[in-house]
Amino acid sequence: MASERQIAANRRNAQKSSGPRSASGKKRAGQNALRHGLCTPMAGPAFARAVEHLACRLVRDGAEASALRSAREAAEGLLDLERVRRFEVALIGRVSAFGRLDVPRIFASIRDEVAWVALHFLGARLRKSEPRFAVDDLPEMPTEEPQRTSEGPRRALPFLLRLQRFEARAVAKRDRGIRALALRKALRANTSKD
């Protein structure tokens, strides 16, 4: 159990790390969910119909409200899991097609980029040395099909690992709903035996 001193220290530390305070920081942090859209919950009439359709397939007609609630949770988890897996497949396809997800850097730094622009468009030399270009350490994507197909997932792996938490969350939601349904079924079977 935490002592009073530890609790006070935790509260002081929590006050320090409460997220961005400036308007630009809040705006930037507010765009975090728009990178891939997996943070935002699915909603809308089409999603509600799909959830109801799957939930009705999991339970019989005339099921009690708690069973239907568990079936809806399992259905939502299943649809979330499908969405994450579709995104992963699309990610691998994009890496296989283009060879990378991120845009390669052209210049070694922002200063080099500004120096190049000044030199070529303004004719002004900002420093004595020439602007340095970035070195792309990622090798060319293979053109032959067996190697290209295996190289795409390998290059996408760092991005796929970041999506693991979304997949785990969807699996947990689906499993929670299914466990609740199985427990209800087991309880109903035990009460009918008695």
Q: pLDDT digit string (tens) for 99-148?
A: 877 777 888 888 989 989 998 888 888 888 888 888 877 778 778 888 88
More confident residue, 51 or 35: 51
Question: Which pLDDT band holds residue 72 (cuts at 50, 70, 90)?
Answer: very high
| For residues 78-95, average pLDDT | 92
Q: Is 62 left (phi over 0), alpha (psi -120 to 50) or beta?
A: left
**Orientation angle between helical segments 164-193 and 145-162, nearest 10 degrees:** 70
Query: Token pair 């209800």 is at which residue?
Result: 184
Which band of pLDDT confidence, cut at 50, 70 and 90, is reported for residue 12?
confident
Distances from the Cα of 60 to the Cα of 14, 106, 139, 160, 173, angstroms: 48, 60, 56, 37, 21
Q: For residue 49, what pLDDT is reported?
A: 93
pLDDT band at 46 (very low <50, low <70, confident <90, very high): very high
Q: What percent of the chain has pLDDT over 90?
A: 26
Output helix, strand, coil percentages for the chain, rounded to the nearest 5: 70, 0, 30
Q: What is the pLDDT of residue 123?
A: 86
Does the pLDDT of residue 18 top 80, yes or no?
no
pTM of structure? 0.66
CA distance 9 to 4: 9
Q: Structure tokens of 56?
A: 């009705």
pLDDT given for residue 142 in this prediction: 78
Confidence of residue 186 (pLDDT cuts 50, 70, 90): confident
DSSP letters, 105-156, are PSBSSHHHHHHHHIIIII----SSSPPPBPP--SPPPP-SHHHHHHHHHHHH
- The alpha carbon torsion through 52, 56, 59, 61 (nearest 10 deg) reads 120
In this prediction, residue 32 carries a pLDDT of 66
| Residue boundaries of the structural domains of the chain | 42-134+143-193
Average pLDDT score, the chain: 85
CB within 8 A of 176, min separation 6: which ones? 73, 74, 77
The answer, yes or no, to whether residue 35 has pLDDT greater than 70, is no
